[in-house]
Structure 1
């Protein structure tokens, strides 16, 4: 998977990543498996905690 800085991740992908984190208890492992940064995952966790959703930020 390659990274395009202009492409937002789908909500389904975000849910899949966070579900993986919950099952394994490891954000680092999820970042390796899905080839995204830990900061991205932490941002999604913060967004979900703050808003209750994983919608794209505009």
Structure 2
């Protein structure tokens, strides 16, 4: 599967996952950054984790 095809197939799921992670920021406060790093580390495959990381950056305004 090409990179573009993979991205297209999983883009919405990656956005949903990023929204889920971001939704926990206020509740977790200072612990959020280490928590989200652990969550991202556990995502497989690595290209999907990278997609979620990019979506998270965009949603949080860090892009």
Q: TM-score range by the shorter chain?
A: 0.3 to 0.5
Normalising by structure 1, we get a TM-score of 0.40
Bigger Rg over Cα: 2
Normalising by structure 2, we get a TM-score of 0.39
Query: Higher relative contact order by CA 8 Å / sep ≥ 6: 1 or 2?
Result: 2
Normalized per residue, which structure has more helix? 2
